[in-house]
Structure 1
């Protein structure tokens, strides 16, 4: 037989001789102590300035910042969950000195008080990392981007091309109505003219419809369908155009937006659970890292990475009054514009262009524009069989970001009967090529730089430095979707997430 079973003494109603101190319940080296230590050292004056001098007393900004930073460090993002933790979790209770902000207070602080100023707090913490010798703001940084879904409803599309198509359709129908009115009431409309496309706005359309109605008012044989169209147009078109105008202002040149979060753009999401790259309202998050610490973060409304680099670097300079020695990034950033921006700022660009990896493996493709020898002194190209291709003119090409590229055109002298004609080009006449000499030079310099010992080392480090940070944020800590709508509020969330990531990595 077994021995007597003995249980530890347990009496939940037993009184203790002395009450517990919360301090005794928080282990030394616990992350909550790190949050308190670091947030106590930062200057919160930028947040203080957001408060008005009169009214009821408020929770101290430092207390609220600690609550949010530790919340994001422990994957507690909801304001209601943070309210619960402040009342129930020993670590939160110790950190807040038993203060209990409610979820409305937490949400207002996050949405309003941190908007536009949190980056100043974030940069102070990065500077502390530099003082500790953990990172260097003057050395190479690794830059990459990922898309994070907006808090907007998924299926609230507004497409710029649809707005234009609807306005085009409206203009065509209005022209038809005008033409019909002219055919039977030319005298009444002799002092007016049909609308130009630039005049398709609520006031002008309303005015034109009124003129057509007035001209047809005393005519007996007016087509009933025309009358119906005019009545429909009078009732609906001005209101629709006013809505289109407002939507175009919110789009601000973008192709799409969400009705429930106009700042968000529809982007193709790689991590979509359907695994079919669904379009969803999202923001493009760009970060620069070093030793897997986030040194800079920016949020963008464009889905293409190459359009984000210039403003991303400008913010880095604004935060630290300095620039990194080098930027290492993948092919998504390799553009004429970006190479030029970095060159002017004195930053070494370890950035691949779109054909770099293929060239490394297979060499430059035969008969491609890049394979043609260029004589810079006399400004001509040499075709694959050694024939000169004379310069025949220059032009410009404007990219989707508005950057103007200078293009030079060259034409072969005589392709007739050339044995290479079938593989060289298939167009009629002599071969004509267009060359962007600025990009050609940037690509050559990038190729040489990337193949140095330093370039090879940085290329190997890039995926091991910046990509794991995204894995930490999105997979390990479950941040795949913003809680708040709007660009400024989403930036606050990313700022809190970045601070929490840096503190988590710093002290663990």
Structure 2
């Protein structure tokens, strides 16, 4: 053509790429600009790179190499970048390094623009979690239980060697026995092995003990150092992947092998309103219960307030979470683990302690056949998050000869039960809210609000595995997905 059309003419007025351009032009990217030092050669503008990434995730283009190609071939990317052509290294470096600790602020500004446009109001949110596979090898793992087992075997064999050495060289070791053989660190193991080796020097030692001692001297101190490194990376987890130490092995719904195999993954927590994502957070926990505290804190950090209403399923129905939401003055429409069974009238196991009738006036519990169980004391438990739970103990007095004794309990003597009165009260309050007219409406709306968001990400956008490794980088990808989802929803 003698006068070829401009890119501006080739793009529809209501095309999503224009929405991405308009929205990102409105937000304040000063925190992102501070990541760039002055001087040096010219670089691509961070606002342009941010637009390209967000539109890429909106358009199901996640690979930095595919984005590089699109910037040379796709008119929408070419228009958005102003014909700039950053290579895949520049794109990936910007995504994985420059957006750290910044993208969440950008996400918050996008949500606030949606509030201004009247799409959402941030007063009521629907929260749920899903697991997405990490970019890690599925067969290179470290298990916390395996480390404990190996250390226990090491302690047992160390004790055997010491006992043998005492028989052979009692005089040398009679005053040197350590208080415990539970290996604490590499130095302790080396010290015990050195004492045994020195005591047996010049003595007649059986070949198998000599081989075991030489093996221990050569391998055990190094093994203890390796275990210490593993335990540091594990923290409170029971597993991690060697190729992405931040990823935890979790049971996934997407099980292509149909064998229940655990895979390295991250637990994504999302809150939505009218299918717009209003908050996201990444966790290494395999369950949702202990994620709510930090997820709610993330919401407050973004918007300066807590939501008025939070709706969630039974995965969040714990004493700690009910207590947290009450303190934050958030109306909690959150199921507990027995709610659905109670609603279906299938709660028939009256032998369980949580179903026993309680007499508050006399502070006693009635066993399944109506006999009183007397209060005998209290006990406390500390959760993984440090939350203190208090249990009241009650003991029966006539278990001997009871006709239902065998199905009631297997304890020796009279049955003792632990009752958490605080949790019982919170569950009762939750039942009242959930079975109210408003509660029923929220319960119906929950599945239609948050579940389609996960369906869109995993199936429509075909995002079933992260591209980057490490918790902070994976959080960036989640933020890009969330922004892209919201902008696509706004243009629908």
TM bucket normalised to smaller: over 0.9
2:461 aligned partner: 477
Q: Which residue of 1 aligns with 2:316?
A: 333
> Which residue of 271, 274, 299 maps to 1:288?
271
- Is 1:379 aligned to 2:363, yes or no? yes
Given the alignment, which residue of 228, 236, 241 partners 1:258?
241
Structure 1 position 417, deviation (Å): 5.5
Unpaired runs of 5+ residues, structure 2, are: none
Alignment equivalent of 1:65, drawn from 50, 61, 64: 50
TM-score, normalised by the number of residues in structure 1: 0.92
d(CA) in 2 for partners of 1:428, 1:217:
52
Which structure has the larger Rg?
1
How far apart, in 2, do the equivalents of 1:223 and 1:79 lie?
Answer: 63
| 1:178–1:194 CA contact under 8 A, matched in 2 | no
Question: 2:484 corresponds to which residue?
Answer: 500
Match of 2:420 among 436, 452, 457: 436
Label 1:382 to 1:208 Cα distance change in 2 as closer, same or farther (>3 A): closer
Offset at 1:208?
Answer: 2.6
Aligned-residue offset at 1:238: 1.6
The total of aligned residue pairs comes to 491
CA gap 1:170/1:467 in 2 versus in 1, 3 angstroms: same
Partner of 1:188: 172
Match 1:242 to one of 220, 225, 234: 225
Q: Distance in 1 between matches of 2:232 and 2:411?
A: 43
In the alignment, is residue 135 of structure 1 matched against residue 134 of structure 2? no
After superposition, the CA RMSD in angstroms is 1.9
- The answer to which of 391-400 and 367-376 deviates more is 367-376
Conserved 8 A contact 1:175-1:194: no
Q: What residue is the counterpart of 1:202 in the other structure?
A: 186
User: What whole-Å deviation, never above 9, does each CA across 1:142-194 have from its counterpart, x for those lacking one?
Assistant: 11110000001011121001011111111221222222222222333355333
Unmatched 5+ stretches in structure 1:
1-15
Inter-CA distance 422–250: structure 2 relative to 1 (3 Å threshold): closer
Instruction: Choose from 248, 267, 273 the match for 2:256.
Output: 273
Matches of residues 94-493 of structure 1 in structure 2 within 5 Å?
94-137=79-122, 139-190=123-174, 192-194=176-178, 196-197=180-181, 199-219=183-203, 221-362=204-345, 364-365=347-348, 366-415=350-399, 429-493=413-477
> What's 2:37 paired with?
52
- 1:364 positional shift: 4.5
CA deviations over 1:52-81 (Å, ceiling 9, x no partner): 223322211101100100000000000100
Partner of 1:10: none
1:468-489: CA deviations, max 9, x gaps? 0000000110100001110000
Offset, 1:416:
5.1
CA distance in 1, matches of 2:89, 2:458: 26
User: 2: distance between equivalents of 1:238 and 1:383?
Assistant: 55
Please say if residues 155 and 183 of structure 2, whose CA atoms lie closer than 8 Å, have aligned partners that are also in contact. Answer: no
Distance apart, 1:409 and its partner CA: 1.3
**Greater displacement, 424-433 / 258-267:** 424-433
Contact 2:152 2:182 in 1 (8 A): no
Paired residues of 2:154 and 2:183 also in contact (CA < 8 A): no
1:105 deviation in Å? Answer: 0.7
Q: Deviations over 1:370-393 (max 9, x none)?
A: 443323233222345543322111
Matched residue SS, 1:285: strand
SS in 2 for 1:211: helix
Distance 2:359 2:156 in 1: 52
User: What displacement does 1:272 show?
Assistant: 1.4
Q: CA separation in 1, counterparts of 2:182 and 2:409? A: 42
Any conservation in 2 of the 1:35–1:66 contact (CA below 8 Å)?
A: yes
Deviations, residues 127-148 of structure 1 (Å, cap 9, x unaligned): 11111111111x2211111000
Rounded to whole Å, the distance in 1 between the matches of 2:259 and 2:321 is 31
